[in-house]
């Protein structure tokens, strides 16, 4: 979520799609209900089913599953047609005014410019801003295309190739009639929805706020990211991002799915959303050059481009993982990181295991056989594996795959997979932190020991790893260095204390570190106060830069239990700790107009204090504290442009800088917008005998 659970009570308008929070997040749902009761907020639910959430909505619209982009695109079209937009916000805080270079083509026929049918991949170099006169960044001769340092722009929004005009053109095809054809929502119902949702911007109103709430009904599509993109674009058009009661709010599924995403136990990221190195990155600095964005913006504007600090995050991570074994002389142990240049994601694991390539699987708290689209394929895959290690608290279908129905005694004798089922600890039997949808890191305490001979997960993993390390120490083997040198300085190495790991994640000074702005010195060994202190010279270590600030010298901030909420907005600044730096609503600078004054005085979150020459407020400003409004620094500090992207340039999205409606892969109909390119052209298709696709009858 860009905002938070309690913050929903501040909203005036809710659009709930792809989610059913009344049933799936009941205790969090009290906040939308509170908004209805206390602010007379309206709730619109768009869903293929009449759910329990729909039952309490002010307006329920039934939509054909998978046609969400068409619906949202229709809302964008309506907002633009009727000028129900936040004009000042749009011009100053998004890339609406940026001009796109010549040669870019919209997908009226289903394809953007640059599609290669042979490889089924786009050459995205035409999906880029136009460079303005003056010094610009030139891409290396054979390097990937880059964003120009100086971007051409038109604040009047009239240039035919400016993002605003292209946006209008893109969604001009998403008329109410087309929305009815694609989504099945009758035209008059669609218009009623559009009128209601965009009513917060009627006649130039900037006080009111709307939120969009979604869950896995949106994410579990081949174009899931693009659905969410369309919602984000709508929210940017309406000026809702960064405001209390606004934002783009994902209701995540499990208690620590957010933490799992942040810490990146996934193949293409390292902790804190750092991109993994590829084989083409010849050394650490080549890696940094590729993944560190340079700012790209109108010359007169300012952009903090906070990812420009990537080297500080990456070096601190290597120091955390390898301690003294990561230093300037060995290129920060760059060789110890595996290089990634293809897909190794969850579906690939099972497909590659089915093809006999993956030999061993370790599953801690994940029941892959039960959750895959084809359980039988996953079971058959496991039959081919050499070994399987499962840590669970209950018997599950993955560890018991060899007992699944249909396996004869004859076949069983031929299943050579050696399966270890290790009893782990339930939630009550371990401490540590988990992160909720609202980005709050919350510590939980251990209530009791695991039952029987069960052990806590960290002990099981630690002992396995230390055993592997011991074998490499005694016997040698392939490239043992990263295993032998991995830092493991826990008081009890066989059962590392989660408090010690949490302190590693926050990070500490390896050598004395001084903040030049305040002259404050953090002494070696002390916990760091925040990611602003991270360095790229090896003097700091941090397992996850994003969580730096969660366990400082003051103690574990994520254990705090302050029940005070001075502003009444549901910020609760002293309860636990939210990333980044305890900011509760992200991009909150955008809650003020370009001069630094809140759009709505009643729900002031942050504002510019001219006397103190800094941003202050009820919430922690998600911004450079001393950047004056006249310097026009963009609120979206994690983008190189500093603005919210209506158009996502270059390789940001695989299938298009604007979302386009494609039919789901197993759709019974041809796409009314462009029947000859019905589905998403870049979707990967699996082709084993177990990959069955539905076809229209």
Partner 1 sequence: MNTTRRGFLKTGTGAVVASVLGFDVHDAYAQAKELKIARTTETRSTCPYCSVSCGVIIHTIGDNAKNVTAQVVYVEGDPDHPINRGTLCPKGSSLMQDILNDRRLLKPQVRRPGSDHWEDIGWGQAFDEIARHIKKTRDESFITTDSQGRTVNRVETIAWNGGCTDTNELNYLVVKTMRSLGVTYLENQARV
- 673 within 8 A of 178, measured Cβ to Cβ: yes
Q: Which is nearer to partner 1, 433 or 540 (CB)?
A: 433
Nearest partner of 7 among 621, 637, 570, 536, judged by Cα: 570
Identify the residue among 458, 605, 618, 627 touching partner 1 (CB under 8 A).
Answer: 458
What's the CA gap between 673 and 676, in Å, rounded?
A: 9
> Minimum CB separation from partner 1 for residue 547, in Å?
8
Q: Which is nearer to partner 1, 136 or 423 (CB)?
A: 423
> Minimum CB separation from partner 1 for residue 316, in Å?
14
What's the CA gap between 583 and 394, in Å, rounded?
A: 38
Going from the C-alpha of 574 to that of each of 218, 246, 619, the distances in angstroms are 33, 22, 11
The yes or no reply on residue 180 touching partner 1 (CB under 8 A) is: no
Residue list 435-454, contact with partner 1 (CB under 8 A): 435-438, 440-442, 444-449, 451-454
Residue list 191-230, contact with partner 1 (CB under 8 A): none
Q: Which is nearer to partner 1, 204 or 356 (CB)?
A: 356
The string of DSSP letters for 384-424 reads H-SEEEEEESS--TTTTGGGSTT--HHHHHH---EEEEEE-
Residue list 93-132, contact with partner 1 (CB under 8 A): none
> Minimum CB separation from partner 1 for residue 273, in Å?
12
φ/ψ of 311, rounded to 5, equals: -60, -35
Identify the residue among 80, 181, 308, 465 touching partner 1 (CB under 8 A).
Answer: 465
Under 8 Å CB-to-CB from 662, ≥6 apart: which residues?
A: 69, 110, 222, 223, 655, 671, 677, 678, 679, 680
The yes or no reply on residue 290 touching partner 1 (CB under 8 A) is: no
Q: C-alpha 121: how far from its chain's center?
A: 23
Q: Which two tokens stand for residue 677?
A: 């390119």
Count residues binding partner 1 (CB under 8 A): 142
Identify the residue among 181, 187, 267, 638 touching partner 1 (CB under 8 A).
Answer: 267
What's the CA gap between 568 and 372, in Å, rounded?
A: 44
Identify the residue among 18, 25, 653, 660 touching partner 1 (CB under 8 A).
Answer: 25
The yes or no reply on residue 33 touching partner 1 (CB under 8 A) is: no
> Minimum CB separation from partner 1 for residue 507, in Å?
12
Q: Which is nearer to partner 1, 394 or 693 (CB)?
A: 394
φ/ψ of 508, rounded to 5, equals: -145, 170
What's the CA gap between 344 and 350, in Å, rounded?
A: 10
Interface mask toward partner 1 for 317-346; x: CB under 8 A:
----x-------------xxxxxxx--xxx
The yes or no reply on residue 412 touching partner 1 (CB under 8 A) is: yes
Interface mask toward partner 1 for 562-591; x: CB under 8 A:
-x-x----x-x--x----------------
Look at the alpha carbons of 637, 638, 642, 645 in this order and tell me if their dihedral is positive or negative: negative
Residue list 346-365, contact with partner 1 (CB under 8 A): 346, 348-349, 352-353, 357-365
The yes or no reply on residue 382 touching partner 1 (CB under 8 A) is: no
Identify the residue among 40, 102, 479, 611 touching partner 1 (CB under 8 A).
Answer: 479
Nearest partner of 89 among 157, 187, 191, judged by Cα: 157
- 35 within 8 A of 9, measured Cβ to Cβ: yes
Identify the residue among 370, 471, 625, 651 touching partner 1 (CB under 8 A).
Answer: 471
């Amino acid at each position: 979520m860009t905002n938070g659970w309690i913050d929903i009570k501040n909203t005036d308008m809710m659009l709930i799609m792809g989610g059913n929070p009344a049933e799936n997040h009941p205790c969090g749902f009290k906040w939308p209900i509170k908004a209805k009761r206390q602010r007379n907020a309206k709730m619109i639910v768009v869903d293929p089913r009449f759910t329990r959430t729909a039952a309490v909505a002010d307006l329920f619209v039934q939509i054909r599953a998978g046609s969400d982009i068409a619906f949202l695109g229709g809302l964008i079209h309506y907002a633009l047609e009727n000028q129900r937009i936040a004009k000042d916000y749009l011009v100053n805080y998004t890339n609406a005014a940026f001009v796109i270079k010549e040669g870019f083509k919209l997908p009226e026929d289903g394809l953007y410019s640059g599609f290669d049918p042979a490889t089924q991949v786009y050459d995205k170099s035409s999906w880029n801003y136009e460079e303005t006169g003056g010094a610009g960044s030139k891409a290396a001769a054979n390097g990937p295309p880059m964003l120009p340092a100086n971007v051409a722009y038109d604040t009047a929004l009239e240039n035919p190739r400016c993002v605003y005009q292209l946006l209008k053109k893109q969604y001009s095809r998403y008329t109410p009639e087309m929305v009815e054809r694609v989504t099945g929502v009758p035209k008059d119902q669609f218009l009623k929805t559009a009128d209601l949702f965009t009513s917060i911007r009627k006649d130039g109103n900037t006080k009111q706020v709307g939120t969009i709430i979604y869950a896995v009904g949106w994410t579990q599509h081949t174009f899931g990211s693009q659905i969410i993109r369309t919602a984000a674009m709508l929210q940017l058009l309406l000026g809702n991002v960064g405001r209390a009661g606004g934002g783009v709010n994902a209701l995540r599924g499990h208690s620590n799915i957010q933490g799992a995403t942040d810490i990146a136990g996934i193949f293409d990221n390292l902790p804190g959303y750092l991109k993994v190195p590829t084989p083409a990155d010849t050394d650490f600095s080549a890696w940094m050059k590729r993944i560190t964005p340079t700012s790209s913006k109108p010359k007169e504007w300012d952009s903090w481009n906070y990812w420009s600090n990537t080297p500080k995050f990456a070096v601190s991570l290597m120091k955390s993982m390898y301690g003294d074994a990561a230093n300037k002389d060995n290129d920060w142990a760059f060789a110890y990181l595996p290089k990634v240049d293809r897909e190794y994601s969850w579906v690939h694991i099972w497909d590659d295991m089915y093809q006999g390539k993956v030999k061993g699987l370790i599953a801690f708290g994940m029941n892959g056989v039960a959750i895959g689209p084809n359980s039988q394929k996953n079971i058959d895959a496991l039959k081919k594996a050499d070994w399987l290690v499962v840590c669970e608290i209950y018997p599950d279908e993955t560890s018991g795959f060899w007992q699944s129905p249909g396996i004869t005694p004859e076949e069983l004798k031929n299943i050579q997979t050696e399966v270890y089922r290790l009893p782990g600890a339930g939630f009550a039997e371990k401490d540590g932190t988990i992160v909720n949808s609202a980005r709050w890191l919350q510590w939980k305490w251990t209530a009791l020991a695991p039952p029987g001979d069960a052990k806590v997960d960290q002990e099981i993993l630690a002992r396995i790893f230390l055993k592997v390390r011991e074998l490499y120490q005694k016997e040698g083997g392939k490239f043992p260095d990263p295993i032998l040198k991995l830092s493991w300085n826990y008081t009890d190495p066989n059962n590392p204390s989660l408090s010690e790991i949490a302190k590693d994640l926050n990070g500490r000074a390896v050598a004395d570190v001084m903040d030049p702005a305040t002259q404050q010195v953090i002494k070696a060994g002390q916990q760091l106060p925040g990611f602003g202190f991270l360095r790229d010279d090896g003097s700091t270590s941090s397992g996850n830069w994003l969580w730096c600030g969660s366990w400082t010298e003051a103690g574990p901030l994520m254990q705090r239990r302050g029940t005070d909420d001075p502003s009444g907005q549901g910020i609760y600044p002293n309860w636990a700790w939210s990333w980044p730096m305890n900011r509760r609503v992200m991009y909150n600078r955008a809650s003020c107009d370009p001069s630094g004054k809140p759009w709505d005085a009643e729900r002031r979150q942050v504002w510019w204090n001219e006397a103190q020459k800094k941003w202050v407020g009820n919430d922690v400003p998600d911004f450079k504290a001393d950047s004056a409004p006249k310097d026009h620094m963009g609120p979206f500090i994690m983008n190189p442009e500093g603005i919210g992207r209506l158009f996502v340039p270059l390789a940001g999205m695989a299938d298009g800088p604007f979302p386009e409606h494609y039919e789901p892969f197993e759709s019974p109909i041809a796409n009314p917008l462009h029947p000859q390119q019905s589905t998403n052209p870049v979707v990967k298709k699996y082709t084993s005998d177990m990959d069955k696709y539905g076809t229209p009858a």
